[in-house]
Amino acid sequence: MTSINVPIIQNILQANDFVAEENRKIFSDHHIFCINIMAAPGAGKTALILKTIELLRGSVRIGVIEGDTASVTIDSDKVVLAGAPAVQVTTAGDCHMDAMMVRKGMEQLPLDELDLVIIENIGNLICPAEWDLGSHSNTLIASIAEGDDKPWKYPNIYRNLNAVVVTKTDLLPYVDFNLEHFSQGVNILNPDVDIFPTSAKTGAGLDLWTDWLLSQIEAASRA
């Protein structure tokens, strides 16, 4: 059974990677920096996206591709109310997005009018790790409330990241979370990754996060 399934999975991933490379080229041709944001459910993906839109309003034109397992528009409605164009992509129960889903979302965004496209992936620490969507960067959001052992328990998703945003740091006085232990686990898997402790509630650390984003956007526009 294994000898039959493995080639099929490889073919699916190869086909996905082909579309992902096309997506990346389309973003680059439009001088857009695209970031894929992954996290466990409830980590604060949407809250970070909304704060990012708020903080960069007037200087960066942002569009969002919202992934969800069901045909609900709760998160995309919030993004539109925040002032950014958003497209809802439904995976019909699948635990990850793929490159073709992103392609369909891209086709509904005004790419000529954007500098940054944020993909909000499905809330999951396993499935999204294997799928290239065609973004320029992968970012993981890790909530204080999840505990500091996640890099040790879910190593695959930490290996191909450019940034880790630690959210809900306002809970540190109330939760048993050791930021040094967490960062050590991340750095063992990915020594070059940038780690940003933040709080969407208090605003702490968000300036460093947006500064990093602006540097990436500027590099993409020059390219």
What is the CATH classification number for the domain harbouring 207? 3.40.50.300
Kindly state the average pLDDT of the residues 19-45: 96
Whether pLDDT at 67 is above 80: yes
* Low-confidence winner among 45-49, 90-94, 166-170 (lowest mean pLDDT): 90-94
Residue with the bigger pLDDT between 19 and 1: it is 19
The pLDDT tens digits of the residues spanning 126-160 come to 999 989 999 999 999 999 999 999 999 999 999 99
162: pLDDT confidence band, cut at 50, 70 and 90?
very high
CB 105 within 8 A of CB 93: no
pLDDT confidence of residue 202: 95
pLDDT confidence of residue 5: 55
Write out the residue range of the structural domain in which residue 136 sits: 2-222
Total structural domains in the chain? 1
Report how far residue 184's alpha carbon sits from residue 135's, in angstroms, rounded to the nearest whole number.
Answer: 26
pLDDT above 90 as % of the chain: 83
Calculate the alpha carbon distances from 109 to 38, 86, 88, 103, 160 in Å: 21, 7, 11, 10, 26
Residue with the bigger pLDDT between 195 and 70: it is 195
Give the chain's mean pLDDT.
92
Q: Cα-atom radius of gyration of the chain, to the nearest Å?
A: 17
